[in-house]
């Protein structure tokens, strides 16, 4: 088996065009893209509209905090002009601080005091709420903490109450997960006939797009290595291998591991580049595990498709169409917006596609783990595909090797 | 049915020529003899035992150039040494020996795709010699190369036979079969229609005929 693995890697390295297309070009692409992503000028601000129906000192404080967020462009509207701006897509979401906002908080209630309006076909806006919430929450928690402290201990001593509250401010972040302080936001989607691009991009969307391209490169690499395996059949080499000490099981496993190894090595090189140039927070250990699983899935998927199509020329022809299908069904960026159907989500169960989200999240969410369910699903697919490849090829291998 | 009620016995140390027009079953017969293909019925014996137990003693040189064209001669030898189960020392020794008898020394760094047809054929044969085979089965191993290169290969086959290797050979070139083979087996529609030693089949002195004449006579009969 080890000889088959070394063979696949050696064959990959022996072709300069392979090295150019599958190693050098993607690394160059990443290098250029990362240099662009690194610049401050790149920072795209997400434009939101805010309606301050409360007009309290508290609500003004919150809006001031939002303005200081470098990733946001905050425009102040009244409700009607804000709604118009939303329809014209000058803003991605309209955040309405309702009348009575501060009074409601003082009473200890944080429910339904903010409304977010967004266009139905813009899936980014509800997500941006996660960026907005901490700005509201911090002041709400501060206010709540002061109320709790005041009520509990310092009802007769305002000065002491104020001093003690300042101490408590440091601990407000620990209350973020507390249910009684949960900020429940009203979400309202509005139908529209958008003609502009479907979403405004924040830096995270650009990064996801860039990472998706890198992972797609890996799939193409895997496909072309599987195509190389077909050479064994077409050139009669299978006969020689059959008459060797290398059993069929070892041959199949050697091909799987060989192709996975090539994809894995190239993807690790990519990730090292990404870590060193921009994504300093990356946990390489988690990433390596995820990439190993992804590479194995891609290898098995490639060989399975090759075993169905049999002819190398057919497989070559099919590769662009396979890539389109994988892009549309595999849950990549844009695909959910293009196809939003319950039935199609089952067709999206393509090997490699479960773990890819976990891989991308490693870059955008510090501390995120590779989910066990993704690993289990991928392993399930891998076992199925291996059995398929083994059984599909075995009868032909035994009976007639040509 | 490709082969039908066929029995064949190859004498140790001989060079057996298997002849017949296209699609009579020559390649299938050779595939079965090598253990590459399992027949629907019947058995293949090698030195008294089943051929499947002696795969490592049988070298099979296919008609195609069964090599990795993007790898060098050396890398091809290294790979097949590995899958044939040779350790590093044995592999090195065998490769040195094969380079010598097949005149491949100057080619060992060249990629297969950059070799001429004759050179590719030599490497194709050389790979099977890694096994140190007792029997070498060669299925049209001289197809598509010029006369000079063919003569070189025939000379090598003769040398290998002199070292004790039994050779089973198919070709459409009657002259090379006649020059090298000691025994002949004529196939038609999956059966052996004529077999025998060279002298007996071709005759001698004034009754001697060429293999080509004999071939034409036989197959004209079956048309």
Number of domain units in chain B: 1
Residue A210 CA, chain-centre distance (Å), reads 10
Flag whether B97 is in a domain.
no
Tell me what percent of the residues of chain B surpass a pLDDT of 70. Answer: 97
If asked whether residues A385 and A290 sit together in one domain, one would say yes
CA dist A53 and A97 (Å) reads: 6
CA dist A238 and A222 (Å) reads: 21
If asked whether residues A109 and A251 sit together in one domain, one would say no
Per-residue model confidence (pLDDT) at position B219? 82
Tokens of A30: 């990443």
Mark yes or no for CB contact B75/A244 under 8 Å.
Answer: no
- Residue B150 contacts residue B125 (beta carbons within 8 Å): no
Per-residue model confidence (pLDDT) at position A239? 85
CA dist A205 and A333 (Å) reads: 8
If asked whether residues A159 and A245 sit together in one domain, one would say no
If asked whether residues A29 and A52 sit together in one domain, one would say no
Q: In this predicted model, which residue has the larger pLDDT, B2 or B186?
A: B186
Q: How confident is the model at residue A385 (pLDDT cuts 50, 70, 90)?
A: very high
Residue of B nearest to A248 (CA): B83
Flag whether B117 is in a domain.
no
A258 CB-near residues (< 8 Å, 6+ apart): A4, A5, A6, A7, A8, A9, A225
CA dist A210 and A219 (Å) reads: 15
If asked whether residues A29 and A59 sit together in one domain, one would say no
In chain A, residues with a C-beta closer than 8 Å to the C-beta of B120 are: none
Residue A198 confidence (pLDDT) above 50? no
Residue B209 confidence (pLDDT) above 60? yes
CA distance B153 to chain A (A): 20
- Report the 10 Å Cβ neighbour count for B77: 26
CB-nearest partner of A245 from B34, B67, B83:
B83
Residue B207 confidence (pLDDT) above 70? no
Per-residue model confidence (pLDDT) at position A179? 52
Per-residue pLDDT tens digits for B153-179: 888 899 999 989 999 989 888 888 888
Tokens of A198: 């479907």
- Residue A295 contacts residue A267 (beta carbons within 8 Å): yes
Per-residue pLDDT tens digits for A134-183: 667 666 666 666 566 555 555 566 676 566 556 555 555 455 445 555 56
CA dist B18 and A345 (Å) reads: 60
B111 three-state secondary structure? strand
B82 inside 8 A of chain A by CB: yes
Per-residue pLDDT tens digits for A38-79: 665 545 567 788 999 989 888 888 888 888 776 678 889 998
Mark yes or no for CB contact A237/B68 under 8 Å.
Answer: yes
Flag whether B4 is in a domain.
no
Q: Where are the alpha helices (DSSP H) in A20-157?
A: 25-38, 57-67, 79-87, 101-106, 124-152
- Would strands B49-50 and B45-46 be described as parallel, antiparallel, or unpaired? antiparallel
The domain of A75 spans: 46-190
Residue A197 confidence (pLDDT) above 50? no
B56 inside 8 A of chain A by CB: yes
Flag whether A196 is in a domain.
no
If asked whether residues A183 and A60 sit together in one domain, one would say yes
* pLDDT mean over B29-42: 85
Per-residue pLDDT tens digits for B59-111: 999 888 999 999 999 999 999 999 998 999 999 999 999 998 888 889 889 99
If asked whether residues A24 and A64 sit together in one domain, one would say no
Flag whether A401 is in a domain.
no
Q: Tell me which H or E stretch contains A189.
A: strand A184-190
- Would strands A94-97 and A111-119 be described as parallel, antiparallel, or unpaired? antiparallel
CA dist A286 and A355 (Å) reads: 12
Q: How confident is the model at residue A263 (pLDDT cuts 50, 70, 90)?
A: very high
B34 inside 8 A of chain A by CB: yes
If asked whether residues A90 and A212 sit together in one domain, one would say no
**CATH number for the domain harbouring residue B35:** 3.40.50.300
Per-residue model confidence (pLDDT) at position B22? 84
Residue of B nearest to A238 (CA): B66
Flag whether A400 is in a domain.
no
If asked whether residues A87 and A145 sit together in one domain, one would say yes
Residue of A nearest to B60 (CA): A240
Per-residue model confidence (pLDDT) at position A395? 73
* pLDDT mean over A310-314: 81
CB-nearest partner of B34 from A2, A235, A243:
A243
CA dist A93 and A202 (Å) reads: 13
**CATH number for the domain harbouring residue A58:** 3.40.1710
Flag whether B9 is in a domain.
no
Mark yes or no for CB contact B38/A400 under 8 Å.
Answer: no
Flag whether B89 is in a domain.
no
Residue with tokens 């190993």: A292
A161 three-state secondary structure? helix
CA distance A123 to chain B (A): 49
Residue of B nearest to A235 (CA): B66
Number of domain units in chain A: 2
Last residue of a domain, one of A121, A155, A190: A190
CA distance B43 to chain A (A): 15
Mark yes or no for CB contact A15/B70 under 8 Å.
Answer: yes
Flag whether A197 is in a domain.
no
CA distance B79 to chain A (A): 6
Give the CA distances from residue A363 to residues A210, A360, A370, in Å, rounded to whole numbers and listed in that order: 11, 6, 12
Q: How confident is the model at residue A199 (pLDDT cuts 50, 70, 90)?
A: very low
Mark yes or no for CB contact A243/B85 under 8 Å.
Answer: no
Flag whether A402 is in a domain.
no
Per-residue pLDDT tens digits for A8-41: 999 899 888 889 999 999 999 999 888 877 665 5
Flag whether B148 is in a domain.
yes
Per-residue model confidence (pLDDT) at position A196? 40
Last residue of a domain, one of A190, A223, A247: A190
Q: Tell me which H or E stretch contains A114.
A: strand A111-119
Per-residue model confidence (pLDDT) at position A295? 94
Last residue of a domain, one of A132, A164, A190: A190
Mark yes or no for CB contact B80/A240 under 8 Å.
Answer: yes
Mark yes or no for CB contact B80/A10 under 8 Å.
Answer: no
The domain of B144 spans: 15-66+133-222
Per-residue pLDDT tens digits for A282-298: 778 888 999 999 999 99
CB-nearest partner of B62 from A231, A236, A245:
A236
């Amino acid at each position: 088996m080890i000889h088959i693995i070394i063979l696949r890697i050696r064959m990959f390295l022996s072709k300069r065009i392979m090295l150019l297309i599958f190693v050098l070009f993607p690394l160059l692409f990443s290098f250029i893209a990362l240099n662009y992503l690194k610049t401050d000028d790149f920072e795209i601000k997400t434009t939101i509209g805010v309606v301050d129906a409360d007009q309290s000192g508290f609500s003004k404080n919150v809006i001031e905090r939002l303005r200081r967020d470098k990733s946001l462009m905050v425009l102040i509207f009244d409700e009607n002009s804000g709604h118009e701006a939303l329809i014209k897509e000058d803003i991605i979401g309209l955040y309405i601080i309702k009348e009575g906002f501060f009074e409601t908080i003082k009473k200890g209630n944080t429910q339904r005091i903010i409304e977010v309006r967004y266009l139905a076909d813009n899936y980014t806006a509800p997500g941006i709420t996660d960026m907005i919430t901490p700005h509201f929450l911090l002041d709400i928690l501060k206010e709540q903490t002061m109320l709790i402290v005041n009520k509990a201990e310092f009802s007769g001593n305002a000065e002491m109450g104020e001093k003690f509250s300042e101490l408590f401010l440091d601990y407000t972040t620990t209350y973020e997960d507390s249910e009684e302080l949960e900020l429940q936001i009203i979400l309202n989607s509005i139908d529209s006939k958008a003609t502009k691009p479907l979403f405004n991009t924040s830096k995270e969307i650009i990064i996801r797009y860039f990472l998706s391209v890198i992972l797609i490169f890996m799939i193409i690499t895997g496909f072309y290595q599987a195509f190389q395996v077909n050479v064994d059949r077409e050139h009669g080499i299978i006969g020689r291998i059959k008459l060797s000490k290398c059993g069929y099981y070892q041959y199949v496993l050697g091909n799987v591991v060989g192709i996975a190894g090539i994809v894995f090595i190239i993807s690790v090189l990519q990730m090292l580049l990404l870590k060193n140039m921009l994504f300093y927070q990356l946990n390489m250990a988690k990433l390596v595990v995820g990439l190993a699983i992804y590479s194995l899935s891609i290898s098995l998927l490639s060989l399975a498709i090759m075993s169905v199509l049999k002819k190398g020329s057919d497989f070559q022809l099919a590769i662009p169409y396979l890539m389109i299908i994988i892009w549309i069904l595999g849950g990549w960026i844009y695909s959910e917006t293009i196809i939003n159907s319950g039935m199609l989500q089952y067709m999206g169960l393509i090997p490699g596609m479960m773990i890819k989200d976990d891989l991308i999240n490693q870059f955008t969410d510090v501390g995120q783990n590779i989910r066990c369910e993704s690993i289990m699903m991928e392993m399930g697919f891998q076992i199925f595909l291996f059995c398929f490849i083994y059984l599909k090829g075995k009868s032909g291998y035994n009976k007639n090797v040509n | 049915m490709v082969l039908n009620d066929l029995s064949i016995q190859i004498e140790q140390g001989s060079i057996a020529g298997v002849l017949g027009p296209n699609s009579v079953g020559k390649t299938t017969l050779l595939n079965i003899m090598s253990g590459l293909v399992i027949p629907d019925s019947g058995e293949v014996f090698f030195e008294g035992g089943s051929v499947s137990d002696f795969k490592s003693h049988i070298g099979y040189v296919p008609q195609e150039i069964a090599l990795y064209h993007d790898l060098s001669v050396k890398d091809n030898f290294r790979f097949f040494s590995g899958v044939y189960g040779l350790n590093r020392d044995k592999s090195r020794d065998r490769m040195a020996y094969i380079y010598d008898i097949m005149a491949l020394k100057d080619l060992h760094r060249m990629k297969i795709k950059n070799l001429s047809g004759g050179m590719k054929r030599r490497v194709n044969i050389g790979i099977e010699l890694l096994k140190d085979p007792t029997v070498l089965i060669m299925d049209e191993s001289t197809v598509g190369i010029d006369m000079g290169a063919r003569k070189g290969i025939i000379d090598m086959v003769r040398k290998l036979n002199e070292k004790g290797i039994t050779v089973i050979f198919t070709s459409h070139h009657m002259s090379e079969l006649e020059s090298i083979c000691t025994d002949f087996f004529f196939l038609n529609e999956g059966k052996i229609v004529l077999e025998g030693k060279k002298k007996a089949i071709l005759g001698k002195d004034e009754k001697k005929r060429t293999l080509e004449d004999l071939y034409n006579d036989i197959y004209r009969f079956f048309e």
